[in-house]
Amino acid sequence: MQPRTRLGFAAATVSLVAVFAASGSPIPLYERYRVQDGLTTGDLSIAAVSYFVAVMVSLVVLGRLSDHLGRRTVSLAAVALAAVGSLALLDVTGLSVLVTGRVLHGVACGLASSALTTYVVDLAPDRPRWLAAATAAGSPLIGLTLGALGTGALAEHGPAPERTPYLVVTAVLAVCAALLVGSPEPVGRRSGAFASLRPRVSLPPATRPLLPAAIAVFCATWALGGFYQAFSPTIAARDLGTDSTLVAGTVFAAFMAPYAFGGPLTGRLAAGAAQRLGIVVFALAVTGVVVGLHTGSVVTVVLCGVVAGAGQGAAFTGTMRGLLARTDPAERAGLMATVYLFSYGGAAVPSLVAGRLSATLELSWIAVGYAALALLAVGVVLGSSARPRARVGARP
C-alpha cells in the first residue's frame, strides 16, 4: 500500500468521524435548549427527525455524485457543510435555529455516508478483511460518540458551554479539509453528474437476496440510535435524576462507542454468522435497557447500552461485509447511499412516532416499542438465514 494511499485512507476515515462528530455535538445540549428556550420533548424529536430527513434526501439526490465528480471533491463539500452547520448553532434561540443547524448537519452526513464511506472502502488495505466494512460502518457512530462526549465535557467544565463545542469541532473539520486536499483521488471525473441527481435507490442485483435481513438490521439498530439521539439528555434528567451534560453524553456514548468493537470481535466469523449473533445480542440488550429505565437503574441502562452497541456493531458490520462481497467497485457509492437511506429511515420514523407519544407517555414505556422492533428484527434475520436463497454465511 503506497504512503499516499495510506494518508488518503487515514484522512477519509478521520474526516468521516469528524463530520459525524459535528452532528453528535448538539445532542448533550438538548436538555439545556429545552429548559432555557422553552422547547418540548416533541420539539427535540422534530429536530432529530429534521436531521434524519435531511440525510435521507441528501442520500437519494446526492448519493451517486462522487462517482462523477470524484470522492475527494464531494468529501470536501461534506466537511464544509458540517462546519457551516456547527457555526449556525453558535446561538440557538429557538427551534428554527436548531432545525437549521441540524438540516445542514444532515446534508453533510448524507454526503459523507456516500462519498466518504466509499472513499474509505476504495483506499482501505486488503487485510484484515473486515477493516473496510468495519471502518466505513463504524466511523459514523464513533464520530457521534466523540461529538457527544466532547460537548458533554466542554459544556460541563469549559468556557462558553453552548459555543465552545461548535468552535472546536469546526477547527477539527478545517484540519480534515487540509488532509483531504493532499489525498489521492481513486475515481476519475466522468460525465453525467447532473443526471445522477435524479432521485434513485441503487441496489446491485447480487445483493437483493440479502435485503430482508439487511433492512431489518439497519432499521432496528438505527432506530435505537435515533431514540438515544433525541432523548438521552431527557433520560439523564428525568429517569436518572441528573442535568449533567457529561452524564447525558455518557448515556449516549454508552450505546454508540462499543459499536467499534463489534466488527473486530466477530471478524473471524462468516458475515452471516456475525449478523445473526449481533442482532440477537442487540435485542437482548435493548430489553435490558428497557428494564433499567423502568427501575431507574443507571448501571443497568449504561451496561446494557454498552452491550447493545457492541451487538449493533457486529450485526451492522456483518451485514455490510455480506453486501460489499457482492458489489463491484463502480456500484459502491450507490450501495452505501442505499444502506444509509434504510438506516436513517429506520431512525426517523420511530423518532417521529416517539416524539408524538412523549407528550402522553413516559420514555421508559416508549422504549418498549424499540425492544419490540429489535425482537422483530431477530425474527426476520433468523427466518431469512433459514431460506437457501438468503444465506449470507459465505466469507467475503
In this structure, what C-alpha cell is assigned to residue 317? 458490520
Q: Which of the two residues, 85 and 7, has the higher pLDDT score?
A: 85
Distance CA 309, CA 315 (A): 10
- Asked whether residue 392 carries a pLDDT value surpassing 80, the answer given is no
Q: Per residue in 18-66, pLDDT tens? A: 999 999 899 888 878 877 777 777 788 788 889 888 988 888 888 778 8
DSSP 178-224: HHHHTS---S---S-TTGGGS------GGGGGGHHHHHHHHHHHHHH
Task: Bin 256: left if φ > 0, else alpha if -120 < ψ < 50, else beta.
Answer: alpha
The Cα–Cα gap between 355 and 361 comes to: 10
What pLDDT score was predicted for residue 202? Answer: 67
What pLDDT sits at residue 239?
64
As given in the structure block, the three cell numbers for residue 383 are: 427466518
- Cell numbers at 30, concatenated: 438538548
* Model pTM above 0.75: no
* pLDDT tens profile 97-126: 999 999 999 999 989 988 898 888 888 877
For the record, the C-alpha cell of 206 comes out as: 447480487
With b for 16 or more beta-carbon neighbours within 10 A and e for fewer, the 251-289 pattern comes to bbbbbbbbbbbbbbbbbebbbbbbbbbbbbbbbbbbbbb
Average the pLDDT over each of 45-54, 60-69, 132-141, 361-370 and give the range with the smallest value. 132-141
DSSP state letter for 249: H
Q: Is the peptide bond before 128 cis (omega within 30 degrees of 0)?
A: yes
Q: What CA–CA distance (Å, rounded) separates 183 from 116?
A: 12
Using the 8-state DSSP alphabet, how is residue 89 labeled? Answer: G
In the block, cell 435524576 appears at 241
Burial zone of 193 (CB within 10 Å; 0-12 exposed, 13-18 middle, 19+ buried) = middle
The string of pLDDT tens digits covering residues 273-289 is: 999 999 999 999 999 99
Rounded-to-integer distance, Cα 121 and Cα 10, Å:
11
Three cell numbers, residue 211: 435485503
- pLDDT, position 390: 41
Most confident of 167-171, 245-249, 350-354: 167-171
CA distance 121 to 124: 5
Over residues 210-265, the pLDDT tens digits come to 989 999 999 999 898 888 777 777 777 766 666 677 777 777 777 777 877 787 78
